[in-house]
Chain A
Amino acid sequence: MSVPVLSVLNLRVEFPTRRGSLTAVDGVSFDIMPGEVLGLVGESGAGKSVTGAAVIGLLDPPGRLAGGEVRLAGERIDRLRGEAMRRLRGKHIGMVFQDPMTSLNPLMRIGDQLVETISAHLDMSGDAARERARVLLSEVGIPAPDLRIDDYPHQFSGGMRQRVVLALALAAEPRLIIADEPTTALDVSVQAQIIALLKRLCAQHGVAVLLITHDMGVIAETADRVAVMYAGRIVEIGPLRAVLAQPLHPYTQGLIGAIPTLDSELDRLVQIPGSMPRLTNMPPGCAFHPRCPRVLAPCRTERPPQIDVARSTAACWLYREQAVAP
């Protein structure tokens, strides 16, 4: 088996406050193989974006990495600081955020922004870099790239800007792209275009993708594997089809049942009572137990381990029989 592009082990992120530190991400582990799209899904406050930021060393202070390992192609990167981390990020990790203007400089022509990235990381300059920029723009589906290469970001529509960001993310031939809600700000018809483009380009370039989103629809269209986060922990991780069709964890089951679909004739949607606990008020045991319809005795006191069930893994006491004795 080849080495995962990204390997995260027992990641823990804390935010120190006056009343003690809050754990936003607690023991999160996952691998992403080359060319694979891992969807990280969860509701607001589940810790998915913080996980993404922690992986690339972009945690906003006072948040800090309190434990665990992050490896890029086998090498520890969680201890890198400052310039070393910045160079590694620029070269090996591309980023796509919800708002394309987070990534684009409004005062620079998009061609110059691409050329800057390419010549900083690829040992290419002048005409060669500009030619690569033009090829990238046509790859992401910008019509007439020869003309548009000298336009400023404001001259593009929202969907086109997100395409430019995708070109920028791919410019330095990264191994990994972290896409945090890349389609949330776009209209539905444009959303479908960007999703298809992201998937196609990453497959062509053999780039691994960590796709962070709240939208199960986007996950269904794009991901190979899915990790479901709840209250800072991964509650279930497995192949897309398994997680969507036979979800194991009661939270995943509730989450999928809550989504209205086009062919449902149901009068009522499945409803998870209550809401996600606050970080200041985390229940003991399994964080989901106060809302869980199938709660058992150990759920209230003991945190469930990750248990392998079929091809997936779930952190849920329902499957304790399947747990292999140590």
Chain B
Amino acid sequence: MSAAPLVTVENLGRSFDVSRPWLNRVIEREKRRLLVAAAGVTFTIGRKQTFALVGESGSGKTTVARMMVGLIAPTTGDVVIDGVSMTARGQDAERRRLRRRIHMIFQNPYASLNPRWRARDIVAEPIRAFGLAGSRGDVDTEVSKLLRLVGLDPGDSGKYPHEFSGGQRQRIAIARALASRPDFIVCDEPTSALDVSVQAQTLNLMRDLQDRFGLTYLLISHNLAVVRHMASRVGVMYLGRLVEIADVREIFRAPRHPYTRMLLEAVPDLALSGRPRKPIAGEPPNPIDPPTGCAFHPRCPHATDRCRREAPPLTTLPSVMVACHGVTEGRI
């Protein structure tokens, strides 16, 4: 990893106000209700690395991803990309320049492409928006080049999204993401809407492009096998907080947090090795009314009184950062 990380996320948090209307609150003497979608999220991503955020639905992965590209503003903390803060005042000009260098690939290629635009216009939009090509001819050449790069036929550039298959649409989305020659791409579940054979094509393509252009990825996924295949570092989220961060080999070789272990247990075993599987109890809790102390304690087989009272901070241990009283106390 090079000296300075490309992306630094510091104490990032976001809450959403889900209170009932003011009048109801006054009449029924209710307090405001906040949904804490993410809190105290801190990590860095080195250049040309892939950092993966994993977790179940409602764990706050997508909220973090959206804050990283500036789609929603954080309530606390900051994202700094190549020295430029996404929130600080007085850096507007730098931030505008930074915009070109960040792009996002969304989960659902059926929803992320405008159905009324032709493929060529979808891919050309960032080129035009950032003024990266002079004439109309230059834009067309660039679009053809990008489509060929992601394995599509430039002859199809006049087609509309509905004329492509799901995998081809995701390729268009990738071509669009590459169009502004970014350094950093946030990929939010890029393959979970795709069939496995198409997923394999897409993941291979993403890795090839990373090698070729030196891209840095933030990969959001609930699929641990995909993460294992793609990531260099992994952060595990549970109910809006990071519970474990480690290098990919480390986390799959020796998961520390009980939740990480549980997630790994739940991955179906294709090799039929007869790996023993512990039954997993419970379901993710409601984020509006989270448990006290460590949010995982109601499902945790190692929970003690301290876990029920006190939220564990993310603690740095050799080769891993983990938020668990059991691990820091040496019980697990």
Contacts and interface: CB of A to CB of B under 8 A. Distances in A.
Nearest to B224: A262
A269 B270 contact: no
Nearest to A196: B279
Interface in B212-254: 222-226, 228-229, 252
Contacts of B165: 275
Interface stretch (A74-82, A91-99, A217-225): A217-225
A302 B262 CA distance: 49
Contact of A267 (B199, B207, B266): B207
Contacts of B284: 187, 189
B212 to A, nearest CB: 14
Contacts of A275: 165, 167-168, 197-198
B15 to A, nearest CB: 22
A260 B280 contact: no
A291 B271 CA distance: 25
B280 A192 contact: yes
B16 to A, nearest CB: 20
B56 A188 contact: yes
A188 to B, nearest CB: 5
A264 B200 CA distance: 14
Given A190-B283, A214-B196, A267-B207, A259 B277 contact: no
Interface string A256-286: 1111111110111111100100000000000
A122 to B, nearest CB: 31
Nearest to A216: B270
Contacts of A262: 224-225, 228, 252, 264, 267
Contact of B195 (A160, A214, A256): A214
B201 A271 contact: yes
A322 interface: no
A276 B167 CA distance: 11
Given A262-B267, A268-B204, A193 B280 contact: yes
A240 B228 contact: no
B154 interface: no
Contacts of B270: 216-217, 220, 244, 256, 259, 261
B252 to A, nearest CB: 6
Contacts of A157: 283
B209 to A, nearest CB: 13
A268 B207 CA distance: 8
Contacts of B195: 43-44, 214
B57 interface: yes
B300 interface: no
A4 interface: no
Nearest to B193: A44
Interface residues of A, number: 44
B272 A269 contact: no
B310 interface: no
Given A268-B207, A269-B229, A188 B167 contact: no
A325 interface: no
Given A259-B225, A269-B229, A192 B266 contact: yes
B263 interface: yes
A159 interface: yes
Contacts of B279: 192-193, 196
A290 interface: no
B228 A221 contact: no
B228 A187 contact: no
Contacts of B167: 275
A189 B262 contact: yes
Contacts of B223: 260
Given A258-B196, A259-B196, A268-B204, A220 B283 contact: no
Nearest to A291: B197
11 contacts: A188-B222, A188-B224, A190-B283, A220-B270, A244-B272, A256-B270, A259-B200, A263-B271, A267-B207, A270-B200, A275-B168
* A-B residue pairs, 10 tightest by C-beta: A217-B268, A258-B200, A43-B195, A269-B200, A260-B229, A187-B56, A260-B225, A192-B266, A272-B197, A188-B266
Interface of A: 43-44, 157, 159-160, 187-193, 195-196, 214-218, 220-221, 240-241, 244-245, 254-264, 266-272, 275
